[in-house]
Structure 1
C-alpha cells in the first residue's frame, strides 16, 4: 500500500469524471491496493508508478538507437497527452527487442509502495511438490564455472557472470506476490511489468532488485552497482562474521573494483562532476550481503535522458563480466539458455529525462501455468564452483521464498 505521500494523478485509472482533484486521495489511497492483473507497477524508496493499458509500444532493440527513439516518442506523447512515462524492460542482449511502452493510464506517487499484509501464495499441492526444470542443471552450472575459470586463467577474461534458471510448473498470483516482495524488501526496486501489451508474450516480469543501474533527477544522477556477495546466515554472530569477511575478501574486492571502474568510465563523459567512493560499503538484503558503491554525478547536459545513460552502462561487469565482449561471448557459449530480460534493465523514464532503471535481477517471468526464476554469480580468479552454486541458490530464495517455495531452492541447489 502507499505511504502517506501525496498522490499526483498523471492519467486517472478510472474515468476522469469520477475523480476530481479533491477526491484523488480518497479514490486512490494506495496504488498497490488498486493493482489488478495485467497492470504494471514500479516502486522504489523515492517513487512509484502504477500503469494500465498501452498508448504506444516501443519494441526496438537497444542496438538500434533505442534511446533516441524513446526520446522522440516521449516528446510526442508530452505534446499530445501530457507527461506520461515510458516504462518496461530492456533485455540483456542488445540485439533483442526491448519491451517498453507508454501506458494509456498511469498514477504517480512520491515514496515507495507498502504491502497490504502477509499474503500466502501457491496453496496446496503447488506448494508441496511442484515440477521443476533447472536450466542448466546444478552439475552443469558448476562445469560452466570451471570452464569460465579456464578462460580467466588463459588471460582472455578477468570476470564472467554465469547464471542458471528454474522453470516451475505452478500458478502464481502476481498481486499477492507483489505484496510479499514489498513486505520482505521494502527498500528494493520492486516491479511487475505486464509484457503482453508491449508486443511480448502473455507474461509478467516481476521482481525485487537490490541494484540501481541509474537514476536521474534534473542534472543529478546516481548509480549503485553491487558486486561481491555472500549468503546471509540466520545466526546473528555468523551473519556478522560473513559480512566482515566479505569486506576483507581480496577476491570480492577485486570483482567489485572491476565493476566500479567500468561504471565510472562509462559515466564520466556525461558528467561535469562525478564522485566515486574509495571503498565499498555493505548492502544487506533478506538473503544476501553485497559489496555496494554509490556513484553520484552532475550531468554536463541535464536534458540527457536516464534511459540513454542506463544504456551507456548496460551491461555492467556486475551482470556480464569484463572485458564486456569476451564475457558476453562466454555467456552465449557456456550458459545454455537465453536470458531474455534477466540481467537487463527495468524501470521508467519521463519526457524530461528523469527516471529510474534497476538491474533486472531477483526476478521471475510469470506465465499462465509456470514461473521461471533466475540467479547468477560473478566468476573471477579464486572462485570455487561449489561456492558459486551456493550463491545462486541463496539468490533464488528471494523469489522462491516470496512464492512459498523456499524448499525448491535447496533441493535444486544440489548437484
Structure 2
C-alpha cells in the first residue's frame, strides 16, 4: 500500500469545522470519526481494523477478516485486551462507547437487550490533522492526498448551510411525570440524584456533516465530534471530559452540574450566571457530583495525588452555561487507562448519585435505551493515552431515523416543569442548527 506522511502546502485553515464537514460529506473515505480537541482537529477514516462489542459477542476485524467470540468479564478489560492483540504498529484507535457499557460495573445487565452495542472502535488507514501547524495527512495515497487538499480548499469558500426548524417542546415521553416519580424516590432516600432524559424524534432525514458545521459555528464545546461508525451517524458539542489519561498517566475528569440558559443578551446572561452561582439546588447538585468524582478518582490514583481545581467555575457551552470543576490524579501503577475510564464512566453528571442506585433509576425511568447519549466518543493512543468525551448536545441518526436527546439532574428540590425547561435549554445547543438532507 502506498502511503504518504505529508504536510500540505496550506499554512492556515480559517474554518476547520468546514474542512472536517466537507471531508465527511464527500463520502469518499468509508466510515470515519472526526474529533476536535483544543488546538487540533483530526479526521480518521477508512478502517483497516475495528472492535465491536455487544452484550453477548466480541467481533475483532483486521484487514477484512473478522473473528467473533463470546466474551466474559468486564467490557473495559475485554476491549483493552482486544486492542492489545492487534498489530497496530503505532496507529491510533477512535470510536464510541454507549451508556450501557456501565451495566456490568453497576449490576444492571438485566435491563439490556442482547443486541445492544457497547463499544465501536476503528483503526483508520487515513488521518487528516488540522491545527496551527497547518494540515498533515498520513496513510493516504498521493492521489487521495491531492483530493483531501482540494476538498479542504473548496470548503473554505462555502457559506453556512440553512437549518430546518425543529420543535423541541413536543414530549411523548411523559418527562414531567418521570421527574416527579424520581423526586418521590429521592425523598424516600433511595438515592440523592438522577439524570433523566427525553428523546425528540425528527420527522426527516438529516445531513449530519452539514449540521455539525452549522452547530459548531454557534457552540463553544470542550470537545466536538462527527462520526459515521457501526451503523450510526452522530455529531455533537461535548461540555466535558468523562476521562482522559495522558502519556504521563495524569487522569482528568470534568464534572459539570448546574445549568442556566446562555446567549440571550449580556444583561440577561449575567443575571442568569449570578442566579446559577447562588441557587442552593444547583450548588448542592454540583458539590455532590464533585465529591463523587473525587472519590472515584482517588480509587484509581496514587495516594495523595487526587485534587480539585477550578471549583464551580462557570463555563459557557452554546445555549447554556454550567457550573464546572476539574478533578485530577496520577494513575496508580497497577491500573490501566481502560480501568480508569471504567471507574469514571458514565460521567457522574449524566447518571446519578450514588451511581449504583442512580444508574438503576436511569434504566427504569428513562424512556428508551440511551445508546451513545451520555456515553463517550473515545480516542486511544498506542502509548496508553486515552481520552473519552461525554456525548451530550448531539444529534443521532440510523436507518430508522434521526433524533435529539437531553436530560436534567433531578434532586429533592427539583420541580418537574423547571427540569423540562432545562432540557429545552440544552436542546437549544443543537436543535436550531439541524440541516435537512437534500
Q: Report the TM-score range of the alignment, normalised by the length of the smaller protein.
A: 0.7 to 0.9
Q: Look up the match of 2:98.
A: 91
Give the CA deviation at 1:240: 0.2
SS in 2 for 1:341: coil
SS in 2 for 1:59: strand
Q: Look up the match of 1:376.
A: 407
- CA spacing shift, 1:286–1:104, aligned 2, 3 Å: closer
| 1:304 and 2:340 aligned | no
Q: Look up the match of 1:357.
A: 388
Structure 1 residues 70-109: aligned runs within 5 Å: 70-77=79-86, 80-93=87-100, 94=103, 95=109, 96-107=116-127, 109=129
For structure 2, the 5+ residue unaligned runs are 56-71, 104-108, 110-115, 136-151
| 1:208 and 2:237 aligned | yes
Give the CA deviation at 1:377: 0.1
Whole-angstrom distance in 1 between the partners of 2:198 and 2:307: 34
Q: Report Cα offsets for 1:40-76 as digits up to 9, x if no partner.
A: 2111214433222333332225994332233333333
Whole-angstrom distance in 2 between the partners of 1:285 and 1:104: 30
Aligned pair partner of 1:188 in 218, 222, 238:
222
For structure 1, the 5+ residue unaligned runs are 1-14, 197-201, 406-415
Bigger mean CA deviation after superposition, 258-267 or 62-71: 62-71
Aligned pair partner of 2:207 in 159, 173, 178:
173
Q: Look up the match of 1:16.
A: 2
How many residues in Structure 1 have an aligned counterpart in Structure 2? Answer: 373
Aligned pair partner of 2:294 in 264, 267, 271:
264
TM-score, normalisation: structure 2: 0.77
Alignment check: 8 A CA contact 1:54 1:101 kept: no
Give the CA deviation at 1:349: 1.0
Give the CA deviation at 1:256: 0.8
Q: Look up the match of 2:194.
A: 160
Q: Look up the match of 2:250.
A: 220
SS in 1 for 2:414: coil
Structure 1 residues 239-278: aligned runs within 5 Å: 239-272=269-302, 273-277=305-309
Whole-angstrom distance in 1 between the partners of 2:242 and 2:78: 20
Structure 1 residues 393-412: aligned runs within 5 Å: 393-403=424-434
Give the CA deviation at 1:233: 4.9
Alignment check: 8 A CA contact 2:232 2:396 kept: yes
Whole-angstrom distance in 2 between the partners of 1:105 and 1:54: 6
Whole-angstrom distance in 2 between the partners of 1:193 and 1:238: 35
Aligned pair partner of 1:316 in 324, 347, 354:
347
| 1:285 and 2:312 aligned | no
TM-score, normalisation: structure 1: 0.81
Q: Look up the match of 1:410.
A: none
- CA spacing shift, 1:55–1:327, aligned 2, 3 Å: same
SS in 2 for 1:241: helix
Bigger mean CA deviation after superposition, 273-282 or 163-172: 273-282
Q: Look up the match of 2:148.
A: none
Alignment check: 8 A CA contact 1:303 1:352 kept: no
Alignment check: 8 A CA contact 1:57 1:100 kept: yes
- CA spacing shift, 1:327–1:40, aligned 2, 3 Å: same
Q: Look up the match of 2:23.
A: 34
Alignment check: 8 A CA contact 2:221 2:317 kept: no
